Amino acid sequence: MMSPTGNWTVEQPIVALHGVHKSFGSLEVLKGIDIDVMKGEVVCIIGPSGSGKSTLIRTINGLTPVSKGSVKVEGIEVHDAKLDKLALRRKVGIVFQQYNLFPHRTVLQNVMMAPLLVLRENRTEVEERARALLAKVKLKDKENAYPAELSGGQQQRVAIARSLCMRPDVMLFDEVTAALDPETVKEVLVTIRDLAMDGMTCMLVTHEMGFAREISDRVYFTDAGRIVESGPPSQIFETPQDPRTQEFLSKVL
């Protein structure tokens, strides 16, 4: 079990990656990643397509096993074979580019399902929490709709509420606005910003450079499986040091 949170204290990183390597067969996708995130921090990962950003973020909740190195959440090794993965996943929420809502369930049911089934919490409490979260993502009036009846931006906000209903300590976002129309991108970004303002620890993979600049405490630029450069957004976006960062930014900005 993961439960004894060991001797982790808030002065230590809540998420800590050290020397993380990942290969798919002979293809080495991550070549030694080091990232420390403190509780309440907002961290953005940017970089060209195929540089391993999704793979990186998926190692943090154990969806993708690492080949070498250590990933710790609240001081506990994620890739320990004896670890109760389910306990880890209760602490770490993730939202994907493709929303992945459960199409056969209503919005409210989507949000309530995991706390009811996995945490076995009391239905009235879960329902209250789910309704509050839906209000927070401004979808109060859609609770009885099915996912197919919602726009992409609305579906993505339901996906965020669904993750939050598990009361995670860390939220991961993997290009959550990449599949959205430009008009709906903003409503999702506002949701994430509110969440970050409330003190949630967030790690985002994003192509929204303006948003990354506005919201993050620190930005990581990745290329070909390595972190090329990291620092506060002002430094990365205004005075990038590495030529690869400069080239990437000149293309996307």
Q: Is 97 helix (H, G, I), strand (E, B) or coil?
A: coil
Read off the tokens for 61: 């909740």
Burial class (CB in 10 A: 0-12, 13-18, 19+), 146: middle
Segment contacting another protein (CB under 8 A): 2-10, 80-88, 191-199, 240-248?
A: 80-88
By CB under 6 A, residue 55 contacts ligand ATP: yes
By CB under 6 A, residue 210 contacts ligand ATP: no
By CB under 5 A, residue 156 contacts Mg ion: no
Segment contacting Mg ion (CB under 5 A): 12-20, 21-29, 53-61, 150-158?
A: 53-61
By CB under 5 A, residue 54 contacts Mg ion: yes
Q: Map 25-70 to HEC letters.
A: CCEEEEEEEEEEECCCCEEEEECCCCCCHHHHHHHHCCCCCCCEEE
Binders of another protein among residues 110 to 149 (CB under 8 A) are: 113-114, 117-118, 148
Read off the tokens for 195: 């969440």
Q: Put the strands of the sheet holding 92-95 in their side by side order.
A: 92-95, 170-174, 201-205, 42-46, 218-223, 226-231
Residues that bind ligand ATP (CB under 6 A): 24, 27, 29, 49-55, 175
Residues that bind another protein (CB under 8 A): 61, 63, 85-87, 89-90, 92-94, 96, 98, 100-104, 113-114, 117-118, 148, 159, 162-163, 166
Residues that bind Mg ion (CB under 5 A): 54
